[in-house]
């Protein structure tokens, strides 16, 4: 029996990655670093989950040492810039997300988040898209800064399941990336994938179903059939 939906955030609930890239670049500029991540750069760096981890990877690729830079402070500044940018504009949910959340709430299903992004970014997205605090919409939130290993490790999904008080067989994950799919599957979850602008073309072998967007699912009845 399906009892919970567990959503990824960036690329799944909304197409946020371009806003993240803008926030990174503006933060780099304000810190005098002279870095500018192009779309191709960011597409490549997204195969590493977590903003701090992406910065460390980039520094290493540039021939530097991550230990020479205060990466947590830089990333903290980037998160602040991202939330400011988010508050300035209208960032819609991806097609089908709103209807699916509404249907799940009407059916008394539990809603959860399992993401590599920070809690602050989840809060910013929920405030912009719903005008409410994140925990009023998603009573269970497991974020990347709460676990030892980020996706594709299963940690964040295992944390979400622990907080839901459910076995993996009673929930299903919704993702947009191969790393997210691997994380969900490693936690024992079936996973629905809807590729985002930055993840289209990745290998989604092992997904329960891959759809263009969540309108193509056919609602909760179709999702229930996936796990029975």
Mean pLDDT, consecutive 10-residue stretches, the chain (228 aa), reads 96 94 97 97 95 97 96 96 86 92 96 94 90 93 94 98 98 97 98 96 97 93 87
Task: Mark whether 78 and 104 lie in a shared domain.
Answer: no
Of 38, 64, 88, the last residue of a domain is 88
Task: Mark whether 31 and 134 lie in a shared domain.
Answer: no
Task: Mark whether 117 and 202 lie in a shared domain.
Answer: yes
**Quick count: other Cβ atoms within 10 Å of Cβ 152?**
18
pTM: 0.91
Task: Mark whether 51 and 134 lie in a shared domain.
Answer: no
Residue 163: per-residue pLDDT: 98
Residue 194: per-residue pLDDT: 97
Burial of 90 (0-12, 13-18, 19+ CB in 10 A): exposed
Residues belonging to the active site: 8, 10
Residue 52: per-residue pLDDT: 95
Q: How many residues does the chain have?
A: 228
Q: Residue 144: which CATH number?
A: 3.40.50.1000
Structure tokens at 127: 């405030």
Residue 88: per-residue pLDDT: 84
Task: Mark whether 169 and 197 lie in a shared domain.
Answer: yes
Residue 90: per-residue pLDDT: 67
User: Residue 54 and residue 185: Cα distance in Å, rounded?
Assistant: 23
Q: At CA 138, angle to CA 109 and CA 152, rounded to 5?
A: 95
Q: State which residues form the domain around 113.
A: 4-15+92-227
Residue 135: per-residue pLDDT: 93
Q: Could you tell me which of 212, 173, 36, 14 has the C-alpha nearest to residue 98?
A: 14
Task: Mark whether 34 and 10 lie in a shared domain.
Answer: no
Q: How many domains does the chain have?
A: 2
Task: Mark whether 142 and 215 lie in a shared domain.
Answer: yes
Burial of 150 (0-12, 13-18, 19+ CB in 10 A): buried
Task: Mark whether 102 and 194 lie in a shared domain.
Answer: yes
Q: Residue 83: which CATH number?
A: 1.10.150.240
Residue 129: per-residue pLDDT: 86
Task: Mark whether 67 and 134 lie in a shared domain.
Answer: no
């Amino acid at each position: 029996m399906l009892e919970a939906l567990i959503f990824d955030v960036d690329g799944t609930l909304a197409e946020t990655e371009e806003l993240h890239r803008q926030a990174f670049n503006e933060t780099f500029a304000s810190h005098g670093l002279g870095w500018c991540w192009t779309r191709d750069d960011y597409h490549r760096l997204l195969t590493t989950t977590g903003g701090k981890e992406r910065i460390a990877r980039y520094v290493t690729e540039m021939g530097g040492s991550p230990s020479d830079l205060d990466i947590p402070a830089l990333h903290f500044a980037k998160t602040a810039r991202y939330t400011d940018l988010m508050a300035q504009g209208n960032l819609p949910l991806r097609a089908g997300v709103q209807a699916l959340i509404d249907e799940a709430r009407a059916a008394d299903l539990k809603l959860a988040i399992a993401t590599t992004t920070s809690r602050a970014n989840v809060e910013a997205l929920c405030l912009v898209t719903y005008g409410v605090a994140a925990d009023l919409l998603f009573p269970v939130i497991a974020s990347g800064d709460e676990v030892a290993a980020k996706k594709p490790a299963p940690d964040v999904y295992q944390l979400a399941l622990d907080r839901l008080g459910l076995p993996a067989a009673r929930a299903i994950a919704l993702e947009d990336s191969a790393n997210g799919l691997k994380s969900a599957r490693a936690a024992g979850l079936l996973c629905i994938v809807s590729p985002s602008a930055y993840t289209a073309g990745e290998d989604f072998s092992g997904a329960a179903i891959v759809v263009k967007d969540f309108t193509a699912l056919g609602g909760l009845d179709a999702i229930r059939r996936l796990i029975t």
